[in-house]
Each structure stands twice: as C-alpha cells, then as structure tokens.
Amino acid sequence: MVTYEEFADSRLAALLRYAVMLTGDPHQAEDLVQETMVRVQLHWRRVARADSPERYVRRMLTNQYIDWRRGSWMRRVLLRAEPDESVPVGTDHAQSSVDRDEIWSWLAGLPRRQRATLVLRYYEDLPDAEIADILGCAVGTVRSLISRALATLRTEYVEVCS
Amino acid sequence: MTENELRAAFVRHEVLTPPTGPLRAAIDRVVAVRRRRRQRLRAAGVALAVVGALGVGIPQFAPRPNSPDAPVVAGPSTRVPTGALNLLVLGLDTRADEAPPLADSVLIVHIPADRSRPYLISLPRDLEVDIPGLHRDKLNAAFAYGAGPEHPDRSKGYDLTRRVVADLTGVRIDAGVVLTFSAMRKVTDVLGGVEVCLPQQIRSVHTRRVFPAGCQRLDGSESMDLLRQRRGLPDGGQDRDRNAQRVVAGMVRRAGEKGMLTDPVQISRALVTVGPDLTVAGASLPDLLRVVPELASVEPVGLSLPVVDAVPRLRADPRAAPAFLDALREDRLDRWAAANPDGVTRLG
C-alpha cells in the first residue's frame, strides 16, 4: 500500500497545477491543496484503501473547491489582505495572448462546476466517465455542463473578436 | 477551435503553479497541530469526567443557589434527597475543528441509600447501544446526535445520552454534569497534584513517560498523559476508564487532605474556577451535593458494566450484565462487589 509520503512525492505537484487551473490563482490553489492534503494525511488509511487514491483525492479537492460556501478555505483567502499576484505572464505573441487572456478571465466568471468540468476534460484530458465519478454526477450531466460552457464561450468569444 | 484555445489557455497558465516544497511543509505543520489538538481534547474528555465525580466529593459548602457566582443552577429547594441517587457524568471530547462533540467518558456516580460510600460505574464509550429514533451506534455518539452538527447544544446532547443510559441500565438518573476542556488542569492546579495508585507500570505512547506500578503524585499534565493511555493497555479503553476512576479516588483523597471538603473558601474558589466549563442538567444538584456530608466515607468504589467484545464495538455481557444492573437498580452494589471481587477496580 502506498504511503502518504510516496503519494505526496509523486502527486503533489500535479494536484497543485490542477488547483491553479480550478481557481486561476496561485494563493487560492495553495490554500485549496493544503486544506485537502491535511485531511488526506489525517485520514490516510481510508484514502489509501480507495481503488485509486489519486482519483479519491482529486474528488476531495474538487468538492472542496465547488462547496466553497461550506468550506473555510475561500473565506480565509478572501479575508487575507495580500495583493493579487495572479496576473498571467505574457508571451511574445501580443495579440494572441490578449485573446487567450480573455479566455482565462472568462473562465473566472464561470460557475464552479462548469469550470471544474472544463479543467478535467481539457487540461487533465480525462474521459467523461471519470469526470462524472470525480464530480459525483451522471455522464450525461458532464456532457451538458461542457456543452453549456462551450456555448457561452463561443458567444463571448465572437463578441470579443468582432 | 474553441476547445484548442481552452487547452492552450490552461497550459500557458501552468507557470502560475507555485513550488511544492513550502506547501508540503505547511501541510505537515498543520497536520501536526491538529493531531496534537485531537489527542489533547480526547484526554481532556476523560479527565473532565473525573473532575465531575470529584464535584460530588467536594460540596457541603457549595455556594447557595442564590449566590451570583454559583456555577450550579437550582431552585430554592433545601430538601435533602433520600434514597439511592444516580448522577450521570459526561466527559466531552470537543473536537473543535470538525464533528460535533462525543462523550468519551460516561460515568454513573451511584450514592446508595445507606450513604456508605460513592460508587463510580464506568460505561465504556465503545458500548453498542440503541439510540432512540436512530440506529445502533456507540455510546459516545449519542451526545453528538443529540447536540446536533451546526451549533452543538450540550443540554440536548446530555438529554439524549441520559435517555440511552436510562434505557440501557434501567436506572433513574437524578441529575447530570457535562464537562468540557480545560477544567481538569484548573482543578489539578487548585489541588496541587493528585496521588494515583497503579496496579502495573504504564508507559505513555505519547510522551514515553513511565508511570511505575504503585502510588505516585501526578501534576496536571502528567495525569492528562496517564488518562490519554489506551493503546497498549491489556484491556484498552476499559483500562483507561479504570485509570480515570483511580484519578478520581486520588482527587477526592487529596481534597480531603487539603481540608477542601470542609473549607467553604477553597470550595467556592474551586467551583468558580471550574464554573464556565461545567454544564449541569437537572435542577437539583445542590440538593444532591448536600448528601455528601452524610456519607460514611468518600472513598469511592470503582465498578464497570460487564461487557463482551463484539468487534469493533462492545456489548453488555449477556451473562454478567443483568445481575450487575439488577444490583445497581436495587441498590445492593455492596453485595455484588463482595461476590464479584474481580469486577472491582483497585483504586488504592
């Protein structure tokens, strides 16, 4: 059975990247991962018994992100008076980077479940069945979440470009 | 097209990802703090039940009900109760960060009608019980179910636990005390330590402190450490319950030595110190406390409900428990104890 240390050695960086994609902000991502991984470590035996500990942890982290009203991490983040350093880094392709940043800020306005679904499919490249498992919903729901998100994105994208 | 733009946006922002080193360290720090807090609170739960039992030992000069500082609430009655009395003492494990609190120490203090001496009866926290309106669960969970998850209501937690205990034992509970964190250390400070007599050596798995067999004086943190020990004891949680009884016996003895049992100033100071950490249910505790001077001896007798293993929980022993509970209900524990010397905890 994998130990917590081995799990953290191999998966912490990937989870942190995933949290950055969910929150769009490195500080919020750190807080989200910290809160989740504290619980993971305290309940490691239960986590390790899961068929796939990684998916189990990803589900914990995703739920924590979606249920921010009930959790404490968002409150803590919002109350913390640190300057926002989440300004995206630039690229050489000035105009195209502007377009891409439009997408990034558009993502920030999405409902959390929709954003999580997009991250899981287009960043983590997971099959719909696994996304459904992580979100705890039906595969059909995953597909409708994605198509709804893409539909609004296309509308806004057209507006931005024209 | 849109999908590719999305993929590109995600990948481009990977550079926002902070390094994992400091985060890893922060996670370990928080885990260490939460583990320590859990252990401390669990120990406190046991310890505080002990303090509650001590409360029964202290009291003939307890503040009058109309005294503003009185930590115990009561009507103006001055009636001294007659007959056998049962006081339910719950030691609370207040896990501050998450779940509603569990009652990890459940103790019945039985005062017989002949006022010979108090009996301390431990009910193991892992005992499987019927929780009214719910399902079978461990005894310590009844408090949490009653208190509720959001803003735990201690009096409701106490009420549900009292019903469970009354159903289980068939005993009428006359009053009760719920104790929370921090009172143990305060009272131990007031007492200036407590003498505890152990039948065998115990090594703390938490601090590696060794408690030798025989009698020893323990300060607040040492007695907390002792009461925290469950793993590694031959009988686990039940041995811990017995140690709790031993600490109670030591505290009552110590209170007697210090003259606390007859000094109203010391008593009221102790009660005011413990006051805010003490919740009392049933309005007649001062009446109950007035019983204490009638006792021929305050040296308690430690007993436990006979149980059998039903992994992962415990059940009342179908052969031994009925006779024990009959004796408790019919107020003849003295004869039961004489006939079952193995069932009596060696306290001295």
**CATH number for B264:** 3.40.630.190
Contact status of B135 with chain A (Cβ, < 8 Å): no
Structure tokens at A86: 């989440």
- Closest residue by Cα to residue B83 from B52, B112, B103: B112
Give the 3-state secondary structure of residue B194.
strand
A13 and A71 within one domain: yes
pLDDT for B279 beyond 90:
no
Contact status of A160 with chain B (Cβ, < 8 Å): no
What are the phi and psi torsion angles at B194 (to 5°)? -140, 140
Mutation for B interface: A122, A126, A159, most B CBs within 10 A: A122
Which residues 6+ apart lie within 8 Å of A54 measured at CB? A7, A11
Residue B226 maps to a domain? yes
How close is the nearest chain A Cα to the Cα of B21, in Å?
A: 9
* ipTM attached to this prediction: 0.80
Range in A127-131, B184-188, B307-311 with the lowest mean pLDDT: B184-188
Please report, for the domain that includes residue A125, its CATH number.
1.10.10.10
A132 and A109 within one domain: yes
A101 and A80 within one domain: no
Structure tokens at B100: 């509603």
Structural domains in chain A (count) = 2
Q: Which residues pair with B108 in a beta bridge?
A: B88, B121
What residue of B is the nearest CA neighbor of A10?
A: B20
Enclosing domain of residue B340? 33-345
Is the distance from CB of A40 to CB of A4 less than 8 angstroms?
Answer: yes
pLDDT for A26 beyond 70:
yes
Residue B27 maps to a domain? no
DSSP B127: B
pLDDT tens-place string over residues B31-71: 888 887 766 554 544 445 555 555 544 333 333 333 333 33
Last residue of a domain, one of A26, A57, A84: A84
Of A8, A12, A89, the CB nearest to B15: A89
A127 and A64 within one domain: no
Enclosing domain of residue A108? 93-162
A103 and A69 within one domain: no
Is the distance from CB of A82 to CB of A21 less than 8 angstroms?
Answer: no
Helices (H) and strands (E) in chain A, counts: 9, 0
Strands B307-310, B313-316: pairing kind: antiparallel
Structural domains in chain B (count) = 1
A45 and A118 within one domain: no
A75 and A21 within one domain: yes
Residue B131 maps to a domain? yes
Is the link from the previous residue into B18 a cis peptide, with omega within 30 of 0?
A: no
Residue B25 maps to a domain? no
Residue B7 maps to a domain? no
Output the pLDDT for position B179. Answer: 67
Which residues 6+ apart lie within 8 Å of A53 measured at CB? A2, A7, A47
Contact status of A150 with chain B (Cβ, < 8 Å): yes
A116 and A153 within one domain: yes
Question: Directed axis angle between helix B2-12 and helix A94-108, to 10°?
Answer: 90
Q: Which residues of chain A make contact with B2, given a CB cutoff of 8 A?
A: 150, 153-154, 157
pLDDT tens-place string over residues B285-303: 455 555 666 677 777 888 8
A63 and A2 within one domain: yes
